Amino acid sequence: MHPPCTLYVVECVTPKTWYVGTTTRQKHKRFQEHFDGVACKWTMRHGCKRIALSFPVPMNKASEMENDMWMYYARHVCGPERVRGGDVTIVQRHNNDSIPTWLLPEEFGGTRRVDWGFISPY
């Protein structure tokens, strides 16, 4: 049996900016790291306003579902430059939020071929 896993979305302090993550740890501890500014470079840069959603996912599907959620936010909520998570976690120096073209999906002008689709969490 796989350990429990939580998929979550952070609404950042920077307007229209989001972070998608998964954790197998106690979720309230992981969330507190985001609020404390020690969890990841993206939420350190953009702050943590609130946990917008969180729900359990199967461990063996967590990575795929995190990528699907990133793609959903990139397509429908804020665009790829305003969300990080899944396979798109690069945070460049000097407040540069651009995503390198080798990592950016073709759909958004990059060179990476991906077909993550979308799995609704609802």
Q: How confident is the model at residue 54, as a pLDDT?
A: 96
- Check residue 16 and give left, alpha or beta (phi > 0: left; psi -120 to 50: alpha): left
How many residues are listed for the chain in this entry?
Answer: 122
Percent of the chain past pLDDT 90, that is, above it, reads 61
25-70: per-residue pLDDT in tens?
A: 999 999 999 999 888 999 999 999 999 999 999 999 999 999 999 9
Q: What is the pTM of this model?
A: 0.87
Specify whether the CB–CB gap between 34 and 19 falls below 8 A: yes
Confidence of residue 112 (pLDDT cuts 50, 70, 90): confident
Element (H, E) at 35: helix 27-36
65-99: per-residue pLDDT in tens?
A: 999 999 999 999 999 999 999 888 888 887 788 88
Specify whether the CB–CB gap between 97 and 84 falls below 8 A: no
CA distances from 81 to 19, 23, 42 (A): 11, 23, 11
Rounded CA-CA distance 31/11 in Å is: 12
Rounded CA-CA distance 39/63 in Å is: 18
Rounded CA-CA distance 42/87 in Å is: 14
